[in-house]
Chain A
């Protein structure tokens, strides 16, 4: 537990440092202050992709090993992926309202495909909630987790596949299309939010282990009381 607390505390410090850089780095000449939102939006989406990729990896490993910890990892990662996708969409919409003049634009394929990806993983989490048996839950969600990840490349490459409003990546192998101060702020935020994701993942895994221990602790009070079945009641 102590390890998780240290991770959470240090990740909070890393995020604070990232935010400080985001708010003190130079702004874009055209977008002004609104360009600072991208220091959050891009890392949120990166973490979401990472989380869904991790869910797929854990799902595939579970299918081969049937080890519960991979199931727990898949679930925890998917939950965080959904959280970061919502945050990424929200920050994107705030930025879109300010820069494009509308929060949601159907001309942006990245936005629409991200929303679709979100619903795929909401379906994944709904499937887990709907399946009471742990073994069956793990198996079914592992299968869906392995299939659902096809959405991630679809979202990423949507900016190349369709005519869209969304810009292509600003950081490419041949260099970045921004001043170094802005680039440093963005990269620090990428690292900070990835670290936050790792910390939250460990915290969620602790909770999952505690839930499993609780479930394995045995019968609850009242479990032995069975309601009478009409067919078994005589002389009523």
Chain B
């Protein structure tokens, strides 16, 4: 089977597992919506402040809970399945690409649902023509975050405190994605060009993709 054939097959299996388990839809998304509800409660009934902070809260909650979506992929990959993939001769780079692909699909769904939740709950003042750039920023952020989560999941595979450790690794490294995503909307509101921020997201995604593919084999050996 070709590299892309393996990639698509792994992504398909991952998405099928998610369809059966429903972790993202039943657990992470409701938890993230609760987090969206907590912020206005903590801020008090200041409607103008709530309207103002809406997009920022969305990115903060989206990235923090998105990390759980990204790391969930790696957590659902037991050693037995890794061994099976190795014995079947699956290319480690295809495994990275497949997991990143399925994770990105889930992440985009998660972030879009969260965005709708934020718009309903916070009523933010969004600039005209925001949907297309916002969807693009969400897509690029999702890809980067999933690549980062897949890498961190592999680096911490099998460790006792992997959840906390992987989050500690992902959170600071996700900063370019948070900056790129949030500044896209901010630039649009100010009437400034969004190209630099989109380029930042694209560059981060590409860098992570290159690293993920290049380090896939050492990562596979490290996780045994």
Contact = CB atoms under 8 A, between A and B. Distances in A.
Given A127-B155, A130-B160, A139 B172 contact: no
Contact of B172 (A116, A136, A142, A146): A116
Interface residues of A, number: 25
Contact of B169 (A116, A142, A144, A150): A144
List the 9 closest A-B pairs by CB distance, nearest first.
A139-B222, A119-B172, A123-B169, A123-B168, A120-B172, A116-B172, A140-B222, A130-B159, A140-B155
B173 A120 contact: yes
A171 interface: no
B151 interface: yes
Interface in A178-205: none
B161 A148 contact: no
Interface in A112-129: 113, 116-117, 119-120, 122-124, 126-127
A127 B221 CA distance: 16
Contacts of B211: 146-147
Interface string B142-169: 0000000001000110011100010011
Interface of A: 63, 113, 116-117, 119-120, 122-124, 126-127, 130-131, 136, 139-140, 142-144, 146-148, 150-151, 154
Q: Which of B155, B156, B221 has the most CB of A within 10 A?
A: B155
Contacts of B160: 130
Given A136-B222, A147-B211, A131 B171 contact: no
B220 to A, nearest CB: 10
A113 B175 CA distance: 9
Contacts of B221: 139
A123 B172 contact: yes
Given A123-B168, A130-B161, A130-B165, A143 B219 contact: yes
Interface in B49-106: none
Interface residues of B, number: 21
Contact of B215 (A122, A146, A154): A146
Interface string B191-204: 00000000000000
Contacts of A144: 155, 169
B218 interface: yes
A143 B171 contact: no
Interface of B: 151, 155-156, 159-161, 165, 168-169, 171-173, 175-176, 207, 211, 215, 218-219, 221-222
A117 B175 CA distance: 10
A150 B171 CA distance: 14
A106 B58 CA distance: 19
A220 B137 CA distance: 56
Contact of A131 (B159, B173, B176, B215): B159
Contacts of A130: 156, 159-161, 165
Contacts of B151: 143, 147
A119 B171 contact: yes
A121 B221 CA distance: 23
Contacts of B155: 127, 140, 143-144
Nearest to B162: A130
B81 to A, nearest CB: 19
A125 to B, nearest CB: 10
Contacts of B156: 127, 130, 140
Contacts of B172: 116-117, 119-120, 123, 151
A119 B170 CA distance: 10
B175 A116 contact: yes
22 contacts: A116-B172, A117-B172, A120-B172, A123-B169, A123-B172, A127-B156, A130-B159, A130-B160, A136-B222, A139-B222, A140-B222, A143-B155, A143-B215, A143-B219, A143-B222, A144-B169, A146-B211, A147-B151, A147-B215, A150-B207, A151-B173, A154-B175
